[in-house]
């Protein structure tokens, strides 16, 4: 079966999923919905996916996104991590892994795999999500998609660079970084 990845310009699919938001007893879980992505306060969303909890590459990425949490917050951007594991597995992994205990963003649980499938990022053999990253504007429109092979971790600095470029709403040349001149026509 061929993956049809949702692309730039498309509305991010509707969803209602459980997420792990804390490791504090009784406060671990919260419901996240696609309605929370569309807002009047001009907030962007970065949703990044990893294949499996309790693996090796995934926690390096999750920890790096967490280290950069304030960078996303400073850009009025909501950060959401996601995989096809359950909220219970997410919670156990957060409690178990030192680098994940202090996460500042939710870990969305797509246990039905329906959102990963609708996004076109469900790997066909193991039925896990590819390492995908979506930048979604305040109107719920996908503005950037990046997908990596299961074995290769992504570059969080590049996600921030692209977010900065998109938020300028101007023409940004190759390797452009925040603070540099944009192109004029």
Give 23-75 pLDDT, tens digit per residue: 788 887 889 888 887 766 789 999 999 988 777 666 678 888 999 999 999 99
CB 85 within 8 A of CB 53: yes
pTM, rounded to two decimals: 0.90
What burial class does residue 142 get, using C-beta atoms within 10 Å of its C-beta: 0-12 exposed, 13-18 middle, 19+ buried? buried
Choose the catalytic residue: 19, 21, 58, 116.
58
SS3 6: coil
Residues whose CB falls within 8 Å of the CB of residue 6, separated by 6 or more in sequence, listed in order: 12, 13, 118, 119, 120, 134, 142, 145
Residues 6+ apart with CB under 8 A from 57: 50, 131, 151, 152, 153
Q: Where are the strands (E) in 6-51, listed by range?
A: 16-20, 29-33, 44-49
Q: Which of 37, 50, 55, 53 is nearest to 156 (CA)?
A: 50
Q: CA dist 49 to 90, 178, 181, Å?
A: 13, 25, 32
174 is catalytic: no
Check if the beta carbon of residue 50 is closer than 8 Å to that of residue 131. yes
* Cα–Cα dist 14/171, whole Å: 30
pLDDT digits (tens, 9 = 90+) for 62-109: 888 999 999 999 999 999 999 998 888 878 877 777 776 688 889 899
- CA angle 4-130-9, nearest 5°? 45
Spell out the domains of the chain, with CATH numbers in brackets.
Answer: 16-154 (3.40.30.10)
Rg (CA), the chain: 16
Q: What is the pLDDT of residue 1?
A: 45
């Amino acid at each position: 079966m061929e993956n049809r990845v949702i692309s730039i310009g498309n509305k991010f699919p509707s969803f209602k999923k459980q997420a792990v938001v804390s490791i504090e007893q009784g406060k671990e879980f919260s419901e996240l919905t696609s309605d929370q992505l569309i807002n009047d306060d001009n907030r962007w969303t970065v949703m990044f996916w990893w294949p499996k909890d309790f693996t090796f590459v995934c926690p390096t990425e999750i920890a790096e996104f967490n280290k950069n949490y304030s960078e996303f917050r400073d850009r009025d951007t909501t950060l959401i991590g996601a995989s096809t594991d359950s909220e219970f597995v997410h919670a156990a992994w957060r409690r178990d892994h030192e680098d994940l205990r202090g996460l500042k963003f939710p870990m969305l649980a797509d246990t039905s795999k329906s959102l990963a499938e609708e996004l076109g990022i469900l790997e066909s053999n193991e039925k896990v999500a590819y390492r995908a990253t979506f930048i979604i504007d305040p109107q719920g429109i996908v503005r950037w998609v990046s997908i990596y092979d299961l074995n290769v971790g992504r570059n969080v600095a590049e996600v921030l660079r692209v977010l900065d470029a998109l938020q300028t709403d101007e023409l940004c040349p190759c390797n452009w970084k925040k603070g540099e001149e944009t192109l004029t026509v």
